[in-house]
Structures are given as C-alpha cells and as structure tokens.
Chains A and B, each alone.
Chain A
Amino acid sequence: MTRFTKLTAAALGLTLLGGAAFADGHIDAAIKARQAQMQLYGFNLGVLGAMAKGDVDYDAATASAAADNLLAAATLNASIMWPQGSDSGAAKSRAKADMWSNYPDVQAKGMALVEAATAMQAAAGGGVEGIRGAIGAVGGACGACHKAYREPSS
C-alpha cells in the first residue's frame, strides 16, 4: 500500500468516526431531551399527586398551573426526540426497539395521555376531588406506554 492510499484510508476512517460521533451526540441529546420531558411530567404530577394523597393542602392556583404544565408537556411535538437508533439496543436508553416498528400504537398511547391531561386540566381548578378523579387516567396512560415499551431499569 502506498503512503498516499494509507493517508487516504486514515483520513476516510477519521471522517467516518467523526460522522459517527456526530450522530451519537445527536442521539444522546435527543434522549436527554425526552428524559427532560418525562421529568416535567413527573414534577407536575407530583404537585397534583401530593394534593390527591392529602400530603399537601389543596390550592386551586397551584393545581391549575401544574395541570397546565402537564398538558403543555404532553402536547410537545415528540417526534424529533425519538430518532431511529435511540432504542435500548443501540443507545443509552430504556426505550424498546418495538416502539419504532409499532408507531401507530405509540401515537395512540401518546394521544391517550393528551386526553387524560386535558381532563386533568379541566378538573384541577375545581377541587381536590377533581384531581383524584382525573389522576387515575393519567397514571393509566403513563403505565400503558411503559408497560409495552420500557425496559426494566438496571
């Protein structure tokens, strides 16, 4: 092999590595972004749940703010945060690869969360009983997707 072809091969190798590093960085960032979205769900549900459980006194303004946030988070356009190759087999994620082959089902499950969050938003300002009535459906929507598409934690 000539010096020239060696150099070309090395340069090409570096280019490919660079491409891979860029793609990995993009995938990691997308995973972080969707995990941040999950954090938003968790924080705002925590505010509502503490009232539902009776750990914290009911406050209409706080409850409404949390329910507004929950719905806002649920209606983000999530598609760009779930790129191909960001599943548990290929990346640091607990998302099962099945998600990408069952897209209509994933979308239906996402819509179920939007519906449950919409009902929560309508109920949250009207008293703690409203929260108690609406939170079960939100939990059911979270669980439906986690049941089908999330790997166990390690």
Chain B
Amino acid sequence: MRRFLTNLTFFVVLGFAVFWFITRPESFADDALAGLTADTSRGETVFHAAGCASCHTAPGVDSKGAPVLSGGQRFPSDFGTFIAPNISSDPTHGIGEWSALDLANAMKFGTSPDGQHYYPAFPYTSYARAEVQDIVDLHAYLATLPGDATPSQPHEVGFPFNIRLAMGGWKFLFFSDEWTIGAPNEQLERGRYLVEALGHCAECHTPRGPLGNLDNSAWLTGAPDPSGKGRVPDITPQTLGWSEGDLAYYFESGFTPDFDSSGGHMAHVVENLGKLPAQDREAIAAYLIALP
C-alpha cells in the first residue's frame, strides 16, 4: 500500500510537471533583441506585408491616411467570436507601452506581455516564421501610427475554449515554425516568407481540422469561409488556373483575369499588397505557381 501511494504520488507529480511543461507560455530571453536597431521605413513594408491593418482597424473604415488600429472587427469561428483588440500606440488601450521584445513574444510565441497565451485568431502560427529583425522594425513603425483610446472588447468564447491555459496544449500539438514548402531559389524564398510567414495566407486558404489546426497536407487548397457563407478559394495552380502574370496583376490591381474584382477580406489583402514593391508581388506569384 505504501509503495502504491509512493508510486501514485510520483505519477501525480510527474503529471503536473508534464502539464506545466506543455501549457507554459514560451517567450524570448530578456536580451534576445540585443544589438538590433530598428528601421522604421522597413517596418512599414513589414506592416503591409503582415496585413496588420486588415484586421486591427475598426470595422468598415476606409483605408485613407495613417491607419488607426483601434480594433473591433469580429471574427466568427467554430469556437466562438474573436474580436480584434486595439493595437494602436495608445499607452493604456493600445500597445504603446510594449517593448519590441513584447511584440516579438506575441508574434513568435503567441505569448502576451503578462505571460498569457493568445488565441490563434491572431496568426502567430504564421508570424512564428518571421525574422526577429522584421519585428523590431515593425515595432518602430507601429509607434509612428496614431493612438486611439477605444477599449479592446473581450472575445465571445464559451467554455471550455475560454480557458487560455488549454492553448498551451494546442500549441504543443500544432504550433510549428517549420516551412511547409521547399524554396530552391531566392525569389521563391522571398515568396515563401511573404506567403507562409508575414502574409499568413494559409490561415484562411487552408482547411482546418476539428481542433482548428491547419491541415498542412491540403496546403492552400481552400476552406469554408469562417463567416459560414461561401468558400475561401483553392489557390493551388492546378485548380486556380491563373498565370504568374495574372496573379501579380491581381495583387496590384484587384482584378481577376476576367476582370471581376477582389471582394470581402481579400480586398483588404490586395490593398496591402499594392503597397509592396512589385518584386514582392512577383515573388508571391512565383511561390503560388510553384505549389504542388
């Protein structure tokens, strides 16, 4: 009996240790960004490539002038509705007080400054592949944007998904910063960086499993639209059938090969891509054409 209790205690302690290990929010060491200096104009390119404004501006605002990242857009999902927070430079309601390290922990690990897990509605699952230098530059650019004192709204997520610690288990199972597709040359490498890391295309264009994890075996083959209406299209070359030039022109102008125009959330994406250098749009097109 005594031996049994010892064993039981051992396994309970082990269980808690494993639980703690699996669910603990990861973060960088305090000196991880030492020696890096920020370049604000490079940060602006990162901002557009990462599509920050598409989700963090208020619902329905037009994209004229400096973006006000006051949050409030709603993102329905099978697990509840997530509401984009205020990430403007306001020190109280936005992220004006954040260090570059805070932003890096958020984007690379999905960990908040007070050590909580973010939900992957914030696509750190893609941003995890971003270069730390790009995050430092982005942090400097975000500081130049206007502050806004609109408070962030709580997510409308019910039990059990409202237990943030459980996200640790989800991350343990599904979170990876590995590349999905090989990139044999410099253009494809840039395209892959823009698609798989900053652009986070797969977050909408790849189907998800029952726990909301991306199904990498069906990479960019389309998925039900999270709104519940319609589908996000399959953008693999066999199905889409667009040329590399068609893709690059779409990213620049919003026009499909038959001169329909982009709509819905993709219209935001096209606005962002239009602000990137032409060779970046061409690199994204090259990556998509190279998909299996």
Contact = CB atoms under 8 A, between A and B. Distances in A.
Interface of A: 38, 41-43, 45-46, 49, 53, 88, 94, 135-136, 139-140, 142-144, 146-148, 150-154
A152 B258 contact: no
B229 A88 contact: yes
Contacts, number: 69
Nearest to A50: B259
A142 B254 contact: yes
Those 3 A-B pairs whose CB atoms lie nearest each other, nearest first: A146-B263, A152-B230, A147-B267
Main secondary structure of the interface of A (DSSP, over half): helix
A53 B230 CA distance: 31
Contact of A143 (B230, B233, B254, B258): B254
21 contacts: A38-B260, A42-B260, A43-B259, A45-B255, A46-B258, A49-B249, A49-B253, A53-B245, A94-B230, A139-B261, A142-B255, A142-B261, A143-B254, A143-B261, A143-B262, A146-B263, A146-B264, A151-B229, A152-B225, A152-B227, A152-B230
A41 B261 CA distance: 10
A147 B264 CA distance: 4
B261 A146 contact: yes
Given A139-B254, A147-B268, A49 B230 contact: no
Interface of B: 60, 62, 225, 227, 229-233, 245, 249, 253-255, 258-265, 267-268, 270-271
B263 A42 contact: no
Contacts of B271: 143
B248 to A, nearest CB: 10
